Amino acid sequence: GAGVSQSPSNKVTEKGKDVELRCDPISGHTALYWYRQSLGQGLEFLIYFQGNSAPDKSGLPSDRFSAERTGGSVSTLTIQRTQQEDSAVYLCASSLGEVSVGETQYFGPGTRLLVL
């Protein structure tokens, strides 16, 4: 079956512009996660969704970052007024969501964001 898909695969934007990144999880997966992978920082957790609600937003680095999930499926990560330090690969993952710990997370290919 289809895996996690993300779009766009690459995004170049100018500093100060807003961007939207999309994640389409595996069908039937209720849990969805966003991570950011930056050079020198490794993989950082951003936000976790269970269904449409986000019980853990603790990883969002600033109020310029927000995410939503509608219909328990597709999620959008929005970065407002982008800064150069936002340049990174944004990875989305999903899991079945029946229990959190111990479930396997399946990752999408990521969106490479470059802020000029």
Partner 1 sequence: GEDVEQSLFLSVREGDSSVINCTYTDSSSTYLYWYKQEPGAGLQLLTYIFSNMDMKQDQRLTVLLNKKDKHLSLRIADTQTGDSAIYFCAEWNQAGTALIFGKGTTLSVSS
Which three-class secondary structure string do you get for 71-84? CCCCEEEEECCCCH
Residues 6+ apart with CB under 8 A from 39: none
9/83 with CB nearer partner 1: 9
Which DSSP letter does residue 116 get? -
Query: How near is the Cβ of 37 to partner 1 at its closest, in Å?
Result: 9
Q: Residue 21: beta bridge partners?
A: 77
- Closest approach of Cβ 13 to partner 1, in Å? 20
Considering beta carbons, is residue 62 or 100 the nearer one to partner 1?
100
Residues that bind partner 1 (CB under 8 A): 4, 33, 35, 41-43, 45, 48, 55-56, 59, 91, 93, 100-102, 104-110
